[in-house]
Amino acid sequence: MSIQIFLQGKMQGIREFVCEPAPGLEPRLGERLFQGRCWWVSLLCEVLPRALLAEFHLSKMLLGSSGGGQFLLVLPKELELEASGFLSAAGADIERLSGGRLRLTWAVTDNLGDWSVVRRRLKEALAARRGALAAGADSSWFAPGGPNPAEEDRSYFCDTLAGSLVEHKNVGWSPESPARVLVDEGRHTWTLGSEEDQILLTRHMALTEDGRQALDGRGLAARAEGHKVWGVLRGDVDNAGVRFRRTQSIEEHVQLSVLYKQFFAGEMEVLCSMPEFWRKVTLLWSGGNDFAAYGAWDALIQLARELQRLFRRFSDGNLKDFPGGEGKTISMALALAPSPEAPLASVYEQAGGMLEEAKCASRDCFALLGRVLEWRQLNGADDLKHTMLRIVQEFGGSTQFLGELAAFYREEIFSPLSASRRREGELEKPWRLHRRVLRVLPAARDRDLERLRGSLIMELMGKNAQQIKLRPAGRVALEWARLSTEA
């Protein structure tokens, strides 16, 4: 039996590539370009390892894991040079097609020793290769004025991938264009689906009323309840890298990666087919342990809550045998577009920054509407939002009181005189909040209204009079209610 080697490949520069601005393109084409780039990167890490195995007539069983910007293969030792040549050709074409923003790196090591030792050798080899590429790279490739893809390459992302891939079930690969994922053609082809030998790819897109085109950001915003605005939702499993480093064998590593990938690809596809989401949400991609979607703001909040509930159930059922809490929770972030014409790439980057903020604050959190909440706090924010909406809708309260309360938050949190003396959201004069609520909601004989008003003050300030502090869930509830009532 020949000696086996592990080959791990990884894409570098994904964020820089997918978020690269496209000056001169109208918003609709810019969104299609962004979608096509996301699908291309997702498919590359699925198609390339399968194409390598098919080119050298190797068993499909040698594919360890794929997706999420990387892949892992088991190969015979004697094919190491041929595999490196295959990846070199693909890497050169990837650089050309991405304008030098995206690079393919890979590392090879013998299948000797414990998996922890093998994984460390692969990590060190990948780091050394990245360092060598960075040292020998021409800096002009990464400068803002660097080379841009040709017009036919841009058409490939906009038309071939974002324009027609959603309607087809087969993708292919050919050695003549090793970086291109072909649609319904190629020397080797694979089916998109959820079966064992198929490639997982989430492709749901909200369509126009005639069902012929994908809806752009302006169209998605028009379908939102209340304020007409769209946003980007991003999510990531907390401490997934730590969980993978704790795996004891290659089999456990592959099992874990497949579990994550199947969860995101399967659940996102099913969720977005439900009535409350299918006309309001478009999926950008789902990776090995993360995802991104954009759509109407109200649908994205509900999508996030439902996905977190499903992930908790998935974690309890499939990850209970893994020790520790790493990799068993998920954090998300929702960024709202400043205008209907805002570039999708910029809102996507903003959501990424908010997601990093949420993950730094704690785990199992959701960053939205100016605050980072734990998931259990989001339920309280939802209840408080319903209280505010009842005051407006059932008791004829003026929507002005929502703006009054939001202004109070701004005064107490961002006042330069008070910022150095107390923590964010802390109140020195809680009676001011009582006075403002009484001013915008005057006393009435209706007991329900009196009870709602008292509940509102209690939820905003808490029950402990000695340590009064504006709750972050209150600010989220305020903004949520304002978005729900503003036309």
pLDDT number for residue 457? 60
SS (H, E, C) 414-477: HCHHHHCCCCCCECCCCHHHHHHHHHHCCCCCCHHHHHHHHHHHHHHHCCCHHHCECCHHHHHH
- CA 86 to chain CA centroid, Å, is 31
Tell me the residue type at 236. Answer: D
* pLDDT at residue 83 greater than cutoff 90: yes
State the pLDDT confidence band at 325, using cuts at 50, 70 and 90. Answer: confident
Kindly tell me if the per-residue pLDDT of 417 is higher than 60. no
The domain segmentation of the chain, as residue ranges, is 4-149, 217-368, 378-485
Per-residue pLDDT of 237-271, as tens digits, reads 999 989 998 998 999 999 999 899 989 988 888 89
Alpha-carbon gap, residue 367 to 335, rounded angstroms: 8
Q: What is the pTM of this model?
A: 0.85
Q: Do domains 4-149 and 217-368 have the same CATH topology?
A: yes
Contact of 105 with 130, CB cutoff 8 Å:
yes
Tell me which of 474 and 316 has the higher pLDDT.
316
Q: What is the distance between the alpha carbons of residues 331 and 355, in angstroms, rounded to a whole number?
A: 7
Q: Which CATH class is domain 217-368?
A: alpha beta
CB of 31 closer than 8 Å to CB of 346: no
CA-wise closest residue to 290 among 373, 348, 376 = 348
pLDDT at 413: 39
Residue 1 in tokens: 């039996």
pLDDT tens, residue by residue, 99-139 = 888 999 999 999 888 898 999 999 999 888 887 766 665 44
* Strands ordered across the beta sheet of 103-110: 63-67, 70-76, 4-12, 103-110
**Cα Rg of the chain, angstroms:** 25
| CB 217 within 8 Å of CB 344 | yes
Q: Which residue did the predictor score with more confidence, 407 or 49?
A: 49
Average pLDDT of the residues in 168-174: 91
pLDDT at residue 379, rounded to an integer: 87
Q: Is residue 402 classed exposed, middle or buried when 0-12, 13-18 and 19+ CB atoms within 10 A define those classes?
A: buried
**Phi, psi of 375, rounded to the nearest 5 degrees:** -60, -35
Query: What is the spatial distance between Cα 1 and Cα 432, in angstroms, rounded to a whole number?
Result: 80
Q: What percent of the chain has pLDDT over 90?
A: 41
Percent of the chain with pLDDT over 70: 79
Candidate CATH numbers 3.30.70, 1.20.1070, 2.60.40, 3.10.450; the one for domain 4-149: 3.30.70
Q: Which helix (H) or strand (E) holds 284?
A: strand 281-286
**Mean pLDDT of the region 173-185:** 92
